[in-house]
Amino acid sequence: MIQKETYNQSFKALFQNLLPFVKPYKGMIAGTLLLTLIGSFAAQVNPILVNETVNRVEELLRQPDPFQNGMRLLLIISAIMIANELLNIGIQFGQKYFGEKIRIQVGSDLSQKAVDRILSYKMSFFAEPGNQTGYLETRINRGVESLIRLVQNFFLDILPLFSTAIIALVVMFNANVYVGLMALVIIPVYFYVSQRQAHRLKGWRRELRGHRERKNHGLINIIDSITVIKSFVREKIEGEKQFEVQMEMLDNQLQTRRTSYVFESLKSFIQQIGVVLIIILTVYLVLDGQMGIGAIMMHIMLFRNVSAPISQLHRIYDQINDALIYADGFFEVLDNDGAVEIGGPVMAEDVQGQFEVRDVNFTYPNGKQALYDVTLSLEKGKTTAIVGLSGAGKSTLINLLSKFYKPDDGVITLDGIDLEEYENGSLRDHIGLVLQKNHIFKGSIYDNILYGKIDATREEVMEASVKAYLHDQVLTLPEGYDADASNLSGGQQQRIAIARLFLKNPPVIFLDEPTASLDAIATEHIKMSLDAIKEGRTVVIISHSLSQIVDADVIHVLKEGRLVETGSHESLYKLDGEYRKIFDASARSLNLGKMLDTLAV
Ligand code: ADP
């Protein structure tokens, strides 16, 4: 009982959530409904016509010259039937086309709304468990798919069938109350069987989808890790893992089919019993003189109209269930007002780049505290290096400075104004961010650089490309700037990121290990580019490269989320603490002694 109530509640919620998306098409919906209604009436014309025809023919047979009048009757009936069929074609086309149009438009609105909402959410939304790339995508896709199917079902399947059934039932009652009652009595039995079928298949269908996903995922995994699989000779194990999934799926599919066939046969048997009962009753009524002989055929045909939608019930029930399950997850993504990124009123203009971080604590949405009581300054126009072992909180600090996340407590100011006060877009327009691996969009090199400043001229793009040491390399490509950027090497992609930075020309620059995955020449080029862009800007650099650290005006050392040392390279080295430990280890890893010997020769 409780379950049923929750079911009704979620159904209501689903309907309310979906309503705003369907509303814009209310004219089209009203038209479709009208066509549906006309179609439902038209569907009863044939049975009624058959009734008339048989009764008239039977009458004609008793007349001396049945042919003369018969021909006229034949002509009239044929004309009505053809006219009705033509009308039906028109109605069906209109109804299907508009139903489909509603479905497609609602589907595209739902998808676009999801995209718009997601773009408006803060970074912490994406860091939440359950919102990572794969999961979020699946939730949205599944939600849209099941809602589209629901809309389609409603307009293209349920409504026409049910309105046809109801009108057929009314016609049956109108012709004879007992026949109508007989048809009505069979419906609950039929209904019950359909519902049992839906119930039995419910779990299995979901399981089947799970198997399918695991199968696809398994395959993707194999392709992704083929080098490791081959190098460890694990082909057999991987094959066996897939085989298990395959077997489970096979089992499930066979069971689903078996159940379906049993229920389909049962339903078809019940329907046949219904037909038989209708025949018995109508024949009795005909023999009793209460009806013309044509009524037998008419009622059989009408009964088929009545029973048709019920045979679809299990499918409809199933799809509504699906929609209830997946729509919840989908609308949760859509209605997450708390996740919307809200900026302050201050438009960042003429940014100097003086940051103050005061007593900042920060915890990620998964509960991991990454910064403890951090207080530091980033001087305007200076280069500050953040040093620390992996996991010390360096990137987290840059995330907070970019206002991607909000501190738990404490405050970060830029030019004396709390970051929270700034309008987000205007703030980020003044910040350039280069990461270890920068995202390169599918598309040409030119377009990828242009992303830094959408309205840049071709000359500006070229200039930025030259400054980023990219231009000469692009010229060696057959397609030049039109070449697909996603095929470039890591070093070349990094140069694109630097070129974007030159184009954007921000007063504040955050560099998060910009040369970590590059070869020596690329590292040198990028260091030269960065040295050129650093002039007069506030730069924060995270790097493991000693050359980039020692160049910094100030160095902050983080350890396990806490600021432990601050100073210049020389002073920190003398301090003989955390910085020196890291510096010495880096120097040893470079085998500096031997290198110096080589260079001295
Ligand atoms: P660093 O840049 O110094 O290597 P990070 O700032 O990336 O370190 O990470 C600091 C700590 O926060 C690490 O323990 C890391 O696991 C955790 N962390 C980083 N990003 C996230 C995230 N999106 N969600 C949860 N924890 C995170």
3-class DSSP state of 393? coil
Q: Could you tell me if the CB of 321 is within 6 A of ligand 1?
A: no
Instruction: Please report which residue ranges of 121-176 form alpha helices under DSSP H.
Output: 123-127, 133-152, 159-175
Give, for ligand 1, the residue of 362, 396, 435, 549 to mutate: max count of ligand atoms closer than 8 Å to Cβ.
396
Atom 14, ligand 1: which residue's CA is nearest?
391
Could you identify the atom of ligand 1 that is nearest to the CA of residue 399? 6
Q: Please count the other Cβ atoms lying within 10 Å of the Cβ belonging to residue 336.
A: 16
pLDDT at position 491 over 90: no
DSSP 470-490: -HHHHHTSTTGGGSBGGGS-H
Residue 525 parent element (H or E):
helix 520-534
Q: Which of the residue ranges 120-134, 313-327, 507-521 would you say has the lowest mean pLDDT?
A: 313-327
- Rounded to the nearest angstrom, the gap between the alpha carbon of residue 123 and the centroid of all alpha carbons in its chain is 18
The C-alpha atoms of residue 498 and residue 156 are separated, in whole angstroms, by 54
Query: Residue 202 — pLDDT band, cuts 50, 70, 90?
Result: confident
Q: Please report the pLDDT score of residue 379 as a whole number.
A: 93
pLDDT digits 0-9 by tens, 133-160: 667 887 888 889 988 888 887 777 778 8
Q: What is the mean pLDDT of residues 43-47?
A: 90
Give, for ligand 1, the residue of 364, 386, 387, 436 to mutate: max count of ligand atoms closer than 8 Å to Cβ.
364
pLDDT digits 0-9 by tens, 425-452: 999 999 999 887 777 888 999 999 999 9
The C-alpha atoms of residue 42 and residue 88 are separated, in whole angstroms, by 7
397 alpha carbon to ligand 1 midpoint, in Å?
10
From residue 114, alpha-carbon distances to 119, 124, 220, 276, 335 in Å are 9, 17, 26, 52, 10
From residue 265, alpha-carbon distances to 193, 269, 307 in Å are 11, 6, 15
Q: What is the mean pLDDT of residues 192-218?
A: 80
Residue 89 parent element (H or E):
helix 66-120
Q: Nearest-CA neighbor of 53 among 91, 79, 88?
A: 79
Domain 4-336: CATH architecture, name and number where available: Up-down Bundle (1.20)
Query: Residue 423 — pLDDT band, cuts 50, 70, 90?
Result: very high
pTM of the model: 0.78
Residue 294 pairs in a beta bridge with none
pLDDT digits 0-9 by tens, 564-589: 999 999 999 999 999 999 998 888 88
Q: Could you tell me if the CB of 366 is within 6 A of ligand 1?
A: yes
Region label for 384, one of left (φ > 0), alpha (ψ between -120 and 50) or beta (otherwise): beta
Could you identify the atom of ligand 1 that is nearest to the CA of residue 542? 2
- Residue type at 92? Q
Opening angle at CA 148, ends 143 and 150, nearest 5:
95
Q: Could you tell me if the CB of 414 is within 6 A of ligand 1?
A: no
Q: Could you tell me if the CB of 133 is within 6 A of ligand 1?
A: no
Q: Please report the pLDDT score of residue 3 as a whole number.
A: 54
Q: What is the mean pLDDT of residues 406-431?
A: 95
Q: Nearest-CA neighbor of 326 among 446, 172, 147?
A: 147
Q: Please report the pLDDT score of residue 542 as a whole number.
A: 93
Residue at token pair 């209605």: 335
Could you identify the atom of ligand 1 that is nearest to the CA of residue 393? 6
CATH 3.40.50.300 domain residues, the chain? 346-430+508-520+534-601, 436-505
364 alpha carbon to ligand 1 midpoint, in Å?
8
Atom 6, ligand 1: which residue's CA is nearest?
393
CATH 1.20.1560.10 domain residues, the chain? 4-336
More confident residue, 372 or 532: 372
Query: Residue 243 — pLDDT band, cuts 50, 70, 90?
Result: very high
pLDDT at position 2 over 60: no
Q: Please report the pLDDT score of residue 114 as a whole number.
A: 94
Q: What is the mean pLDDT of residues 389-404?
A: 94
Q: Nearest-CA neighbor of 553 among 354, 352, 388, 379?
A: 379
Q: Selecting from 1.20.1250.20, 3.40.50.300, 3.30.465.10, 3.90.700.10, what CATH number does the domain 436-505 have?
A: 3.40.50.300
Beta strands at 383-387 and 409-414: parallel, antiparallel or unpaired: unpaired
Give, for ligand 1, the residue of 126, 368, 369 to mutate: max count of ligand atoms closer than 8 Å to Cβ.
368
Query: Residue 212 — pLDDT band, cuts 50, 70, 90?
Result: confident
Q: Please report the pLDDT score of residue 283 as a whole number.
A: 94
Q: Could you tell me if the CB of 393 is within 6 A of ligand 1?
A: yes
Query: Residue 530 — pLDDT band, cuts 50, 70, 90?
Result: confident
pLDDT at position 1 over 50: no
Q: Please report the pLDDT score of residue 4 as a whole number.
A: 56
User: Is the separation of the CB atoms in 110 and 148 below 8 Å?
Assistant: yes
Q: What is the mean pLDDT of residues 477-486?
A: 91
561 alpha carbon to ligand 1 midpoint, in Å?
9
Tokens linked to 255? 């069971």
Q: Please report the pLDDT score of residue 460 as a whole number.
A: 94
pLDDT digits 0-9 by tens, 7-44: 666 778 888 888 899 999 999 989 988 998 899 899 89
Could you identify the atom of ligand 1 that is nearest to the CA of residue 388? 3
Share of the chain above pLDDT 70, in %: 98
Query: Residue 321 — pLDDT band, cuts 50, 70, 90?
Result: confident
Q: Could you tell me if the CB of 127 is within 6 A of ligand 1?
A: yes
User: Is the separation of the CB atoms in 286 and 276 below 8 Å?
Assistant: no
540 alpha carbon to ligand 1 midpoint, in Å?
18
pLDDT digits 0-9 by tens, 103-140: 999 999 999 999 999 999 998 888 887 777 667 887 88
What is the biggest distance separating any 2 CA atoms in the chain, rounded to whole angstroms? 130
Fold of the CATH domain 346-430+508-520+534-601 = Rossmann fold (3.40.50)
387 alpha carbon to ligand 1 midpoint, in Å?
14
